[in-house]
Structure 1
Amino acid sequence: MNKSSQPLSVVLAGGGTAGHIEPALAVAEALRKARPDIRVTALGTERGLETRIVPERGVDLSLIPAVPVPRKLNRDLLTFPFRLIGALRQTRRTLKDLDADVVIGFGGYVSGPAYLAAKSAKIPTVVHEANARTGMANRLGAALGARVLAAVPGSGLKDAEVVGIPVRGALLDLDRAALRAEARAFFGLDPDAPTLLVTGGSQGAASINDAVSGAARTLADAGIGVLHAYGRKNSVQVDQVDGAPAYVAVPYIDRMDLALAAADMVLCRSGAMTVAEISSCGLPAVYVPLPHGNGEQELNARPVVDAGGGVIVPDAELDPGRLAREVIPLLRDRDRLAAAGEAAGLAGHRDAADRIAQVVIETATTH
């Protein structure tokens, strides 16, 4: 059989964290919609979240060695070149076994070896940068000649096409109003009270947990319900107030679609994927960027905030009083809440996954 008559084979490189995995899976969904016969395989490592998330979403997973770049002068740095060479050999074998037509990377430690292996095997590549500031792996991919896509302008990648962040169809098409009653019942929330969803990501965030639990009585007195995902390694104890809407605290939320349908507003970090998913659902948010790193989390939220879809509160300024001042007036004003939600929904690129899939297919078929 000629290669031209076979289904396209697309390899996704974006393991490690949900911020890399979720955009990759959204693109996998769009690729299958565009070409039902397409073969999509994700690269990952044994230590990443992809070992659980990718198979659950029906995408094949091939594992390669994890080779994080050492940040200090130590033994790991001395052995790094040899480990990298081994990882590149295995990654190249994997790409050959998959008969890959194109590799698309989303950053993180899986992408670096994938870009290098694809370059050596003369397989075309595409880079998608979700963050406002580009990471090391995607800078490498761009330098190796990949076609470059970015979520926002000014990412630092030259000649990048701005396409937004791909979001899975289940959230883009989420009918929050239709699911509201079911979602509230699922979590044991008040069916009618204004409701705040709080999440610090899968690991939780101590500053967010402390602020919202500290404001629990104030929120209860204001007639506001809370769904608080505090992280699997943390604990939160909040006393229920008689006659007030429920404060529901859970370590983790598996049904984020129902959580978003149940919510009227969100308090969260501002990772690129978090901002994209929340705004795509038309939910206003209080974004609390991580207080360390290169400041990219604030930049991720800035376009939505500037459009009127939320506010940014620095981590150092978040306390129960500030939380109450930001959340209560908006949740108790239906008109302002609706306007903020509409602004959030209009701030993103709802066609991002389809556009990226189109670029990937073009790159594979014209190489």
Structure 2
Amino acid sequence: MSRKIIHIDMDAFFASVEQRDFPELRGKPVAVGGSSERGVIAAASYEARKYGIRSAMASKIAVRRCPQLIFQKHRFEVYKEVSQQIREIFYEYTHLVEPLSLDEAFLDVTDNKKGIESATEVAREIKQKIFDQTQLTASAGVSVNKFLAKVASDQRKPNGIFIIKPSGVQAFIEQLPIEKFFGVGKKTAEKMHQLDIHKGKDLLRFDLPRMLHYFGKAGHYFYDVARGVDERPVRPNRERKSVGIENTFSRDLKDEQQIKHEVETLKQGLLKRLSKSGKGGKTLTLKVKFDNFEQITRSKTIEQEIASNQLARLADDLLNEAPINRPIRLLGLTVSNFQEDATTDALQLKINFSD
């Protein structure tokens, strides 16, 4: 029997809460956090996204793109309360709930508490309850595994629902642009394009050894999901020990300015992931893998949660300590050493996001 997996993703969650609570903001481009002078945006409304504004973008860049952008001070305690309210709705249907962040989660409703046969009907009920209780909209993806449910939830945002039935899995994947694959970022997409991989069907040309050759350990994942296979279970009460980001380059980095530029890109990506995950820690680790596959790490730990302005400085310090006089094939940054209530502790990091 195939599983019935739902991925629920709140629509522009932080910004939508602000527009709900402050009616004068509705229909207008809103950025949560940041300021017109400095800082980094934590979230953007759909009206702002039309201008290319996104989370982790520098406020100065956002204002250039949208001069009428409205900056709204964050209220993370409110977002956390609303997130818990939404999560309680999930538990009415199943105990198999895997939160990914404050605004999204996987649900396994194969054997749901209400005995509803159709996962699509469960998703519709959940979406309606979320709206009735919070006046916020969510998008849902429904399919047979986590990869497909996650991809499906992005198909009809905002306030949409998309179903990928077992009979339509392979046809859907084969026509899916590679940029829409969960786990494919900008650099990986560029590498795939160089290999003439543009859609899911193009991945099917590569056997597993070739996938491993080009993409390392991620090759297993890409090989499987291109064939509609994802055996990962929905894990309730999943506890993340770290939040990180890394990039394997199609060409080894040799120039110091190139290296610094890539580290800057990693900083922004890590800030975005930390903001979305609701996590914060005291330790920052830089990972460097050289062209001969030798790998080193450098770490620094501070007494309090790492704020966004501290993260940037710590990353630069770690890079200065690392021997970067050889060609580099991979760089990564990770925040770890979370406290017990990481979601609450991470609020300080998020608050500093817009200082």
TM-score of the superposed pair, with normalisation by structure 1: 0.26
- Relative to its length, the structure with more strand (as a share) is 2
